[in-house]
Amino acid sequence: MQNIQVNSMKKLMMRMKVQNSLIRQCMGEIIGTFVLLLFGCSAAAQVKTSNQMKGQYLSANLSFSIGVMSAMYLSMGVSDAIMQFSGGVLTAYGPNETASIFGTYPTPGTSLQTNIFDQVSANG
The model's pLDDT over 43-55, given as tens digits with 9 standing for 90+, comes to 888 888 888 888 8
Contact between 82 and 74 under an 8 Å Cβ cutoff? The reply is: no
Which whole-number Å values give the CA distances from 17 to 4, 24, 30, 65, 107, in the listed order?
20, 9, 17, 30, 47
Q: What is the pLDDT of residue 88?
A: 62
Q: What is the pLDDT of residue 76?
A: 79
- Angle made by CA atoms 69, 72, 122, in degrees to the nearest 5: 50
Check: pTM over 0.75? Answer yes or no: no
Residue 1's pLDDT band, with cuts at 50, 70 and 90, is low
Residue 78's pLDDT band, with cuts at 50, 70 and 90, is confident
Q: Is 77 exposed, middle or buried (0-12, 13-18, 19+ CB in 10 A)?
A: exposed
Considering only the C-alpha atoms of the chain, give the largest distance between any 2 of them, rounded to a whole number of Å.
74
Q: Where are the domains of the chain?
A: 19-79, 86-124
